[in-house]
Amino acid sequence: AARVRAVGPGDERHVARFIRDLARYEHLEHQLDLDEGRLRAHLFGENPACGALLAEVDGTPVGFALFFQSYSTFLTRPCLYLEDLFVVPEQRGRGTGLLLLRAVAAEAKRRGCPRLDWAVLDWNVTAIGFYEKQGARLLGDWRICRLDGDALEKMATP
């Protein structure tokens, strides 16, 4: 059976591997600019930018969840945002993803967050079905907007 634990120093190599695997699964490898040193600093530095959990089976990492604090102006409270949840293909359908999602939800509750948010690709019907089965609502009237690269540079320059 899988168990979930918080990452510790040295685990960034596992998280980095799963990020690569997730990018491959989502056909987004071309967007990777992954640096384990940055990841380590963001997870374990003086002011961590994010947190992560590892799922393990018999001591072998088989999945991860990475999250960070967000903020709701309408609720005037911090919330939690689940950036990534990934389980290796051979462990899917065995409850590992649910264990990770529950652990992130428990972290949100521990922090007093009124909600947990995340995004899912519209073509990932398996994930959508999984999330809906857990009681998640897909907010069809919201779209994610992003500025990056030259567009970000242009916007940031008066």
* Catalytic (active-site) positions: 131
- The C-alpha atoms of residue 92 and residue 66 are separated, in whole angstroms, by 18
Tell me which DSSP letter residue 30 carries. G
Note whether 19 and 37 are within 8 A (CB): no
Q: Taking Cα atoms as reference points, which of 60, 63, 75 lies closest to residue 17?
A: 63
- Taking the mean position of all CA atoms in its chain, how far away is CA 109? 17
- The C-alpha atoms of residue 132 and residue 126 are separated, in whole angstroms, by 10
